[in-house]
Copies of this chain bind each other. A is one copy, B any other.
Amino acid sequence: MVFSPDISSTPIVQKYGGSSVATPERIKAVAERIAKRTKKAKLAVVVSAMGKTTDELIALAYRISEEPHPREMDMLLGTGEQISAALLAIALNDLGVRTKSVNAFQLRITTTQDHSNARILDFDLDVLLKTFKNHDVVVITGFQGVTLEGDLTTLGRGGSDTSAVAVAAKLQCRCEIYSDVPGVFTCDPRVYPKARKLDYVTYDEMLELASLGAKVLHSRAVELAKKYGVKLYCASSFTEERGTYVVEKLPEWLEQPVVTGATIDTKQVEATIMNIPNRRLLTDIFEAVARANLNVDMISIVEGDRGFHLSFTVVEDAARHLRLVVESVLKDTEGWEMYLDDSVAKLSVVGVGMRSSAGVASRFFSILAKKGIPFKTVTTSEIKISCLIPREDAQRALQTIAEEFKL
Residues of A within 8 A of B (CB): 24-25, 27-28, 57, 60-61, 63-69, 71-73, 75-76, 78-79, 82-83, 85-87, 89-91, 93-94, 99-101, 103, 105-106, 150-152
Of the A-B pairs whose beta carbons lie under 8 Å apart in the complex, a sample of 12, sorted by A's number, is A64-B87, A64-B91, A65-B93, A67-B94, A68-B90, A69-B99, A72-B99, A75-B101, A76-B82, A76-B83, A76-B90, A79-B86
Q: Is the CB of A75 within 8 A of B89?
A: yes
A85 to B72, CA, bound (A): 9
Q: Is the CB of A86 within 8 A of B65?
A: no
Q: Is the CB of B103 within 8 A of A90?
A: no
From B24, B90, B103, contact of A69 by CB (8 A): B90
From B27, B72, B85, B89, contact of A93 by CB (8 A): B72
> Distance in Å from the Cβ of A25 to the closest Cβ of chain B?
8
- Give this chain's copy count: 2
A79-B79, A79-B82, A79-B83 are known contacts. Are A90 and B63 too (CB-CB below 8 A)?
Answer: no
CB-CB under 8 A from A24, the residues of chain B are: 60, 63-64
State the main secondary structure of chain A at its contact with B: helix
Determine the residue in chain B with the shortest Cβ distance to A151.
B106
Q: Is the CB of B64 within 8 A of A27?
A: yes
Determine the residue in chain B with the shortest Cβ distance to A77.
B86
From B25, B79, B86, contact of A72 by CB (8 A): B86
> Distance in Å from the Cβ of A139 to the closest Cβ of chain B?
9
A151 to B152, CA, bound (A): 17
Q: Is the CB of A64 within 8 A of B94?
A: yes
